[in-house]
Amino acid sequence: MIFPSPALSPGTGFYALFLQETAMGLCLFINPIKGAGDDLPDVGDHAPNIAQIDHYDLSDIDLSPYAALMLPAHLDQRFFGTLTTKIEGFLARGGTLVFNGHVAWPMLPEFETFVPLESQSLENLIIHRLADHPVFEGVDTQHLTFRRGVAGFYARGYNPPPKGAIALHGVGPDRLPCDWVYHRPEGGRILMHAGNDLWMYAGSKDSTARIVPQLCLWAGGNGDEDHEQGGAS
């Protein structure tokens, strides 16, 4: 394990000892653009084994120490699209990419433009589990559908998955694949969530609080292992 330079501003609770004991890979969180406001939780308070860098520092950073790259929904996708070669190299080495948000710009060959729901009726906003996955183990889909009794926070459409991806959650009666995981034949994994940052649920009071630690555990694991269960989409 190569540890990142302190200059990379690792998360406040970065525990080298913990990493050595568990052979966990380090998750690199990309802080959202500064204009995104001050209303986002600090993931470092809930997942100690992470590092964080500011958005535009991604172009200069060496990704080789990291097992996973965690992208915020407030991503400058035009900027990220200039890094495709770098990101594909990271994936080819077995890296994990977690994407949140709606795909608007071409960034990777596996990405297609977001498809919004035609109608945002309550029925269309209900989240259904399509396959079990370690990230969502023990997370009640009712808690994904409703936040304080209000539906629609989790997903309002989907980013179309590539052939061979495994759909994890579907939104609405047509089970549109708002979450999916894809093992690239060229190496690496992509976890796609077509909504706000999954780490929005950090420290929540219901079963969604399980997402952040489980996400970091899964994303920091060996990307060549097949942890997923369930059928293909």
The footprint of other proteins (CB under 8 A) covers: 33-39, 54-56, 73-80, 101-105, 114, 116-117, 120, 148-150, 152, 156-157
Choice between 17 and 150, CB closer to other proteins: 150
CB distance 114 to 194 below 8 Å: yes
Nearer to other proteins, 172 or 221 (CB): 172
Buried-exposed string 152-174: b where 16+ CB fall within 10 A, e elsewhere: bbbbbbbbbbbeebbbbbbbbee
Beta bridge partners of 66: 26
Residue closer to other proteins, measured from CB, 119 or 163: 119
Taking the least distance from each CB to other proteins, the nearer of 177 and 220 is 177
* Tally: H helices and E strands in the chain: 6, 12
Beta carbon of residue 134, minimum distance to other proteins (angstroms, whole number): 27
Nearer to other proteins, 148 or 163 (CB): 148
The distance of closest approach from Cβ of residue 61 to other proteins in the complex, given in angstroms and rounded to an integer, is 16
- Does residue 136 come out as left (phi exceeding 0), alpha (psi in the -120 to 50 range) or beta? alpha
Name the residue nearer to other proteins (CB basis): 37 or 231.
Answer: 37
Q: How far is the CB of 152 from other proteins (least distance, A)?
A: 7
C-alpha separations of 187 from 11, 27, 43, 90, 108 in Å: 27, 17, 27, 9, 14
Contact 131, 168 (CB under 8 A): yes
> CA-to-CA distance for 219 and 199, rounded, in angstroms?
13
Is residue 90 within 8 A of residue 63, CB to CB? The reply is yes
